[in-house]
Amino acid sequence: MVADLAKRAEAERKRKKLQEKIRVALYVQKAALHFIDAVNRVEYKLSNDVKEAGFCVGPDELASIVRSHDSKALGSHGGVEGLARHISVSLNDGIVSTDVSTRQNIYGLNQHAEKPSRSFWMFVWEALHDLTLIILMMCAVISIGVGIATEGWPKGMYDGLGIILCIFLVVIVTAVSDYKQSLQFKVLDKEKKNVLVQVTREGCRQKVSIYDLVVGDIVHLSIGDVVPADGVLISGHSLSVDESSLSVTAVGMRTEWGRLMATLSETGEDETPLQVKLNGVATIIGKIGLAFAVMTFLVLMGRFLVVKAQHQELTKWSTTDALQVLNFFAIAVTIIVVAVPEGLPLAVTLSLAFAMKKLMRDKALVRHLSACETMGSATCICTDKTGTLTTNHMVVNKIWICEETKLITRKEDVLSSISKEVQRILLQSIFQNTASEVAKGKDGKTNILGTPTETAIVEFGLHMGGDFNVHRKESEIVKVEPFNSVKKKMSVLVSLPNKMGFEHFAKDIEKPDCIPEDNYTLVAVVGIKDPVRPGVKEAVKTCLEAGIIVRIVTGDNINTAKAIARECGILTDDGIAIEGPDFRDKSPQEMEEIIPKLQVMARSSPSDKHKLVTQLRNVFKEVVAVTGDGTNDAPALAQADIGLAMGIAGTEVAKESADVIIMDDNFTTIVNVGRWGRSVYINIQKFVQFQLTVNVVALMINFISACVSGDAPLTTVQLLWVNLIMDTLGALALATEPPNDALMKRPPIGRNFNGKRLLKLTGSDATDILNTFIFNTFVFCQVFNEINSRDMVKINVFERVLDSWVFLGVMFSTVSFQIVMVELLGAFADTVPLSWDLWLASVLIGAASLVVAVVLKCIPVQTGQDHQVAKGHDGYEPLPSGPDMA
C-alpha cells in the first residue's frame, strides 16, 4: 500500500486554514456582540433625589433589570443581597414604615395610569346630543322669533323660553344622574381591585393594600395569590410551593402589568341581559310613539287646513298661522320624547347601582353588574361547608395520642401522659409540616398566618409549649408537597441534624386505610371543632321558602358534612348524600336520577363540583350560584351563572374568577345578595308598569283630543315636565326601593297592566282652564300611580314608605314644582291658576287610582298550575305554598 504524503499534507494545510477562518469569524462575531452590548447598554445616572434618600439604584434602572430579566445587571449590583443593600432594605426585617412616603416619591405609586374620569360637562354635552331635544331646541328658537314678531316683547318669547327651560332642566337632571352613577362605579371598580398583600415591615408581618406597596417591600405569596408587582425572588422551594418571598423592585407604571394596562382603553361594564331586553322593549314603544306623533301632527294639520279652507284662506298665511303649525310640530316631537322610554335602561342601571352600593355595606362586593340581577333568578346554591356555613374559627378540642383520647383543656392533661421524645416529634410534625407562619404584630401579640385548619393545629402546638421558630430551625426543609384538594394531604421532606437521612411527615389524610402501615408511626390524631354560624339555619330556611335549593359541596368527610347539613336544615329525610368518587363514577342516566335529590356531596374534588354545576345548568336548566375559595375552584366559579368567592379565605385567583365577593364569608350574606337581586327585578317591574301607564295616557289624551277638538290639551312644556317625572324622577323613586322579606317567600308575578292602562282614557274640550285642569289631573294621576307601583300585589302601598327617603323626596319635589308651575309659571307653561275646588278635584281623581288598584289586586290571577314554566335568568318558577312547599 502506497501513501500519497503530498496529498495528506495539502489536506492538513486546508484544514488548518479553515480552522483559522472559523476562529477569526468567531472573534469578529464576539467583538461585534460586545460592541452591540456596549452601544445598547444605558448608563443610568442617579438623580440627586435618589442619592439624598440613600439609594444606589434609580427607578428606571430597577425596572429595566426586572423587565429585561437582566441577570448581568443584577450581578453587577451584587445579586439579590447586593440589590437589597442598594435600595436600603433588610431581607429579614423589610423596610421601615417611615420610608414609605419617600419610596413612593422616588419610585412611584403601585398604580397604573388610568384615563381621567369624564367631567360633568361631558355628560351635559352627551345629553344635548339627543336628536329630539335638538329638534325641540330649534322649534323653541323659531317660536321665540315668530312670537316676538307677532305678539311683541316679552310676551312673544314665553312659549319658546318655556320649552328651552324645560329642555335645560331635562338635560341637567339626566347629566347629574349619569355623572353620579359614573363616580359610583369608579369607586366600586377601585374597591374590587384593592387587594390586601402580606408584607414584612420593621420585622413584623402585616397586610397592606396593593396601592400602598412600595419598592423594597418583602412580599409573601401563597398558592392562588396574584403577584402584586414585578420583583426579584429571594427564597422558595419551587414554583409550586405554598409560600415564597419576593422583594418588590418595580411598582405602578414601571411594571409589565402597568405597561400593558396603559395600552388598554378604559374598561366599562357591558349591558346586562335585562338592559338588553328592555332596550328592545323601548325600541318597540318608541316606534309606536313615533306613529302616534305623526298621526297627531297629521290630524292637527288636517283640521287646521280644513278650517282655513272653510274661511277660504288656504292661500293666505300669516305669522300666526306659521306659529300654530310650528306648535303642532313641537307637540308631535314632544310626544316622541315622552313615548320613547329612555328611562328604562336608566332605571335598570340605577337599581343595580343602588343594590351594589347597599350590598357593599352588607359585606358583598359585586364585581360584575349583571351578577346582581342574575342572583335574583338563582334556583340553586352550591355552597362550601367550612367558613361559609360554619364560623371558620377552628379549635383543637380532642387528641388521640399514645392510644389514648384526651379532651384539650389544659396542656398538662396531654403532656403528663407522653414522653419528651413523643412531645418533640409531635411539635416537630406540627411546625415543620405547615404552610402557616407565626409572626409578631405591631402590638406585640403573636399572629398565626395561614388557613383556618393549619392555624388551629399551630395554635395547639403553641398551647403545648412549642416554639415555632425554634422547631423550624432544627432541621432544613428539603422538599415540600403542598396540600391540594386531590391528594388531600401535605408532606415535607426534612434533613436530620446529623445529615444522615430524611424524615417524612404527612397530615390531613382522609381515610385510615390510606395511612402507610410500614416504616411510619402514627403520632397523633386531632379533632377540630368548627361550629355552625349563627343565623345560617334561618338563612337556609329563607332560601327554601324562596324556591332556592341549597346543596353542600365540600372536601370534608361525609359524616361531618351530613351532620352540618342536618343542623342547617339542608339535608332532609329523602335527600341524598354522596361522596365525590361515587358521583364521578355515575353514568349520565344515573346522574339525572340522583341530582334532583342530591343535597350533600362530600370528599369532592374541584372537577366533581364543576361536573355538578355543568349538569345542573345544561340538563336541569337551573340558574346556579356557586361558592369557592381555592385556586382549584376557579373553573366551577367561571362555569356557574353566579360565582361567589370568599373574601377572607378565598385566594386571589378565585376572586378574579367570581362575580361577587362575599367579604365576611357568611352564608347569610349570600342570601342577602339574592334578596337584592330579586328587588332589582321587582323595582324594574314597578317602573315599567308606571311608565307604560304614563305613555299610553299621554299619547291617547293628545291624539283623541286632536281628533275631537283639533287641539292638544297637553302642551310642549307640560309634556316635557311629564317626561321628567316619568323618566328620571320616576326611575329615581321606584328603582331605589329597598327589598323586603316578602320577596324571599314568593317569586315575582307580573300583573295589573290591563286595568290600569284603561284607567285614565278621557278627552275634553280645549279651554285654558280645562286644559290646565287636565294637565294637573294627569300629573296627580302619575303621582298616585307612582305610589301604586310601590307594591304590585299588596293592598297597603304605604307600608314602609317612611323607610324610602328618596321616594318621599321625589314625591314632595314633584308636587311642589307642579303647584309652582300651575300657579306661578302660567306664561311659560301655558297654564292658568286653578281654584281650590279644581285642585281638590284633580287630587281626588288622581287618588281614585288607589281605589282602582285595590279592586284590580283583589281580582284572582290565574297561576297556571297545570302549565310548567321554564326557569331562566329573566324570571322565576311559580312556587307551591303551604305543606307542598319543598
- Catalytic machinery residues: 384
Complete DSSP assignment for 141-193: HHHHHHHHHHH-TTGGGHHHHHHHHHHHHHHHHHHHHHHHHHHHHHHHHHHHT
Interatomic CA distance for residues 655 and 367, integer angstroms:
9
Tell me phi and psi for residue 451, to 5 degrees: -70, 160
* Mode of pairing for the β-strands spanning 490-495 and 477-481: antiparallel
Interstrand relation of 502-507 and 490-495 (parallel, antiparallel or unpaired): antiparallel
Q: Half-sphere exposure (CA, 13 Å, Cβ side) for 672?
A: 24
Distance, in Å, from the CA atom of 864 to the CA atom of 878, rounded to the nearest integer, reads 9
Distance CA 257, CA 255 (A): 5
Please give the Cα distance from 178 to 185 (Å, whole number).
Answer: 11
Cell of 738: 329597598
C-alpha cell at 66: 426586572
End-to-end CA separation in angstroms for the chain? 105
Number of Cβ within 10 Å of residue 586's Cβ equals 15
Backbone angles phi, psi at 829, to 5 degrees: -100, 5
Radius of gyration of the chain (CA): 37
| Short-list 757, 778, 790, CA closest to 685 | 790
Instruction: Give the span between the Cα atoms of 493 and 495, in whole angstroms.
Output: 7
Residue 741 C-alpha from the chain's centroid: 23
**Chain centroid offset of residue 114 CA:** 20
Distances 287 to 278, 339, 343, 358, 699 between C-alpha atoms, Å: 14, 9, 16, 36, 13
8 Å CB contact between 184 and 349: no
* Closest to 734 in 3D by CA, of 676, 687, 682: 687
Contact 217, 248 (CB under 8 A): yes
SS3 state at 751: coil
Q: How many CB atoms lie within 10 A of CB 544?
A: 16
Amino acid, single-letter form, for residue 362: D
3-state secondary structure of 481: strand
Alpha-carbon span 612 to 619, nearest angstrom: 10
The Cα–Cα gap between 563 and 572 comes to: 11
**Peptide bond connecting 154 to the previous residue in cis, omega within 30 degrees of 0:** yes
Residue 60 to residue 73: CA distance in whole angstroms: 13
Residue 646's region, left for phi above 0, alpha for psi from -120 to 50, else beta, is beta
CA angle 631, 637, 642 (to 5 degrees): 150
Quote the DSSP letter at residue 490: E
Contacts of 797 (CB under 8 A, 6+ apart): 787, 788, 790, 791, 850, 853
Coil vs helix vs strand at 144: helix
Give the distance between the most distant pair of CA atoms in the chain.
141
Any idea how long the chain is? 886
CB 468 within 8 A of CB 462: yes
Q: Within a 10 A sphere around the Cβ of 202, how many other Cβ atoms? A: 13
What is the C-alpha to C-alpha distance for residues 721 and 733, in angstroms, rounded to an integer? 16
Q: Which residues pair with 481 in a beta bridge?
A: 491
Q: Which cell goes with 379?
A: 334556583
- The CB density around residue 289, as the number of other CB atoms within 10 Å, is 20
